[in-house]
Amino acid sequence: MEIKILGTGCPKCKTLEKISREVVEQNGFEANITKVEDIMEIMKYNIMSTPALVVNEKVIIKGRVPSAEEIKEILSNI
Domain coordinates in residue numbering, the chain: 2-76
Q: Taking a C-beta distance cutoff of 8 angstroms, is the pair 7, 50 a contact?
A: yes
- Which residues have CB under 8 Å from 69's CB, separation 6+? none
pLDDT for 27: 96
What Å distances lie between residue 11 and 7, 31, 43, 51, 72, CA to CA?
A: 9, 23, 19, 9, 21
Split at pLDDT 50, 70, 90, the class of 78 is confident
Which residues belong to the active site?
Answer: 10, 13
11, with CB counted inside 10 A (0-12, 13-18, 19+), is exposed
- Split at pLDDT 50, 70, 90, the class of 74 is very high
Q: What is the CATH number of domain 2-76?
A: 3.40.30.10
User: What tens digit of pLDDT does each residue of 3-60 get?
Assistant: 999 999 899 999 999 999 999 999 999 999 999 999 999 999 999 899 999 999 999 9
